[in-house]
């Protein structure tokens, strides 16, 4: 919905620019290539608007199917007009590790399977509580010869493997089912650490990128737009130079919306990973660089 609303604004601006360019060419003030640039932007904006309209319908209908709604319920379904704002701070890695320790269902199931297999064999097996620790890492390297400093940041997740109290029995005394359950638990714990590292890295990267667009890229573009508006009011630039700057802003705002969307997808993926249902998280890069067409004006 938020992308569609912005696509409509871009379309209206592009339509006005294309109409103005057509009239300017009609009175001999524009050449064909200048008019063609405005027409191309208008055509691209129309395509973006159509795509956004379909995406709204497709995503809504997908949600209707997932919820199993009938026609009347689907019509009553109300969705927000925009994405939630970014949280003031990203989730603390220690907090994520603590949640995972309590909520990883796959580890709980593996522990239960091992306990059941051991009891069925008549063994008394005690395992320690599995702890998952997630910490930040910051390594600073100094190059004395070059006089430079580089800083590398990352995230580490430590998973404490369960400690088995075998009660004096040998490992070969376990039957195949109990041994398989013990190996399954160990493998599950290792896999949990790997999936959490990946999910938290995607979450934190998406948060940093979205915050960068919110705090740096979009405000700078807003300042440029305000300054160009003042120059236009002072008759220092033409209407088409003002429109060219608006075209450059489209990439920045679109990239900011995409970054915000990717953050909330990464947040959902992290929450799923915390409870033991990890999902693939793919982060894509959307450029907000000014277009060549805009520079031509």
The verdict on residue 188 lying in a domain is: yes
Residue 171 pLDDT exceeds 70: no
Whole-number pLDDT of residue 156 = 56
Please check whether residue 32 is in contact with residue 108, taking contact to mean a CB–CB distance below 8 angstroms. Answer: no
Q: Which two tokens stand for residue 246?
A: 């608006």
Residue 148 pLDDT exceeds 70: no
Looking at the fold, whether 171 and 121 belong to one and the same domain comes out as: yes
Q: What tens digit of pLDDT does each residue of 211-238 get?
A: 999 998 888 888 888 888 888 788 887 7
Q: What is the mean pLDDT of residues 280-288?
A: 64
The verdict on residue 262 lying in a domain is: no
Q: What tens digit of pLDDT does each residue of 116-131 get?
A: 877 777 765 545 445 5
Looking at the fold, whether 98 and 187 belong to one and the same domain comes out as: yes
CB atoms inside a 10 Å sphere around CB 18 = 21
Q: Which two tokens stand for residue 280?
A: 């693939």
The verdict on residue 169 lying in a domain is: yes
Q: What is the mean pLDDT of residues 137-153?
A: 54
Whole-number pLDDT of residue 50 = 94
Q: What is the mean pLDDT of residues 176-188?
A: 80
In which domain, by residue range, is 74 found?
Answer: 1-82
Residue 34 pLDDT exceeds 50: yes
Q: What is the mean pLDDT of residues 181-196?
A: 80
Residue 137 pLDDT exceeds 60: no
Q: What is the mean pLDDT of residues 184-197?
A: 80
The verdict on residue 33 lying in a domain is: yes
Smallest CA-to-CA distance from 224 within 208, 241, 202 is with 241
Whole-number pLDDT of residue 93 = 79
CA 28 to CA 199: how far, in whole Å? 59
The verdict on residue 294 lying in a domain is: no
Last residue of a domain, one of 82, 110, 144: 82
Smallest CA-to-CA distance from 131 within 109, 106, 111, 101 is with 101
Looking at the fold, whether 72 and 115 belong to one and the same domain comes out as: no
29 confidence band (pLDDT: 50, 70, 90): confident
CA 64 to CA 243: how far, in whole Å? 40
In the chain, the number of structural domains is 2
| Backbone angle region of 235, left / alpha / beta, with phi > 0 → left and psi within -120 to 50 → alpha | left
The verdict on residue 109 lying in a domain is: yes
User: What DSSP designation does 172 have?
Assistant: G
Looking at the fold, whether 66 and 115 belong to one and the same domain comes out as: no
Looking at the fold, whether 75 and 119 belong to one and the same domain comes out as: no
Smallest CA-to-CA distance from 39 within 52, 56, 25, 29 is with 25
Looking at the fold, whether 133 and 41 belong to one and the same domain comes out as: no
The verdict on residue 295 lying in a domain is: no
Whole-number pLDDT of residue 80 = 87
Smallest CA-to-CA distance from 132 within 182, 97, 102 is with 97
Which of residues 140 and 30 earns the better pLDDT score? 30
Last residue of a domain, one of 62, 82, 102: 82
Looking at the fold, whether 109 and 193 belong to one and the same domain comes out as: yes
The verdict on residue 222 lying in a domain is: no
Looking at the fold, whether 72 and 161 belong to one and the same domain comes out as: no
Looking at the fold, whether 70 and 98 belong to one and the same domain comes out as: no
Last residue of a domain, one of 153, 173, 197: 197
Whole-number pLDDT of residue 153 = 58
Whole-number pLDDT of residue 134 = 56
Q: Which two tokens stand for residue 295?
A: 């520079």
């Amino acid at each position: 919905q938020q992308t569609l609303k912005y696509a409509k604004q871009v379309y209206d601006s592009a339509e006005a620019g294309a109409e103005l360019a057509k009239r300017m060419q009609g009175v001999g003030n524009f050449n064909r290539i200048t008019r063609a640039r405005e027409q191309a932007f208008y055509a691209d904006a129309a395509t973006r608007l159509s795509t956004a309209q379909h995406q709204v319908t497709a995503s809504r209908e997908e949600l209707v199917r997932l919820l199993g709604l009938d026609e009347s319920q689907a019509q009553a379904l109300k969705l927000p007009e925009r994405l939630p704002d970014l949280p003031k701070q990203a989730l603390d890695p220690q907090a994520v590790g603590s949640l995972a320790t309590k909520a990883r269902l796959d580890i709980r199931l593996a522990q239960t399977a091992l306990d059941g297999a051991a009891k069925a064999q008549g063994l008394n097996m005690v395992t320690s509580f599995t702890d998952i620790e997630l910490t930040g890492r910051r390594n600073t390297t100094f190059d004395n010869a070059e006089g430079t400093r580089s800083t590398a940041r990352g995230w580490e997740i430590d998973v404490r493997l369960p400690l088995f109290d075998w009660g004096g029995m040998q490992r070969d005394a376990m039957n195949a089912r109990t041994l398989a359950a013990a190996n399954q638990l160990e493998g599950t714990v290792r896999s949990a650490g790997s999936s959490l590292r990946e999910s938290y890295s995607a979450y934190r990267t998406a948060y940093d990128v979205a915050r960068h667009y919110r705090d740096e890229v979009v405000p700078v573009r807003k300042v440029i737009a305000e300054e160009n508006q003042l120059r236009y009011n002072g008759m220092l630039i033409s209407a088409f130079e003002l429109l060219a700057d608006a075209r450059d802003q489209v990439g920045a705002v679109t990239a900011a919306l995409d970054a915000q969307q990717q953050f909330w997808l990464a947040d959902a993926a992290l929450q799923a990973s915390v409870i033991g249902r990890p999902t693939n998280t793919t982060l894509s890069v959307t450029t907000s660089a000014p277009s060549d067409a805009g520079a031509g004006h």
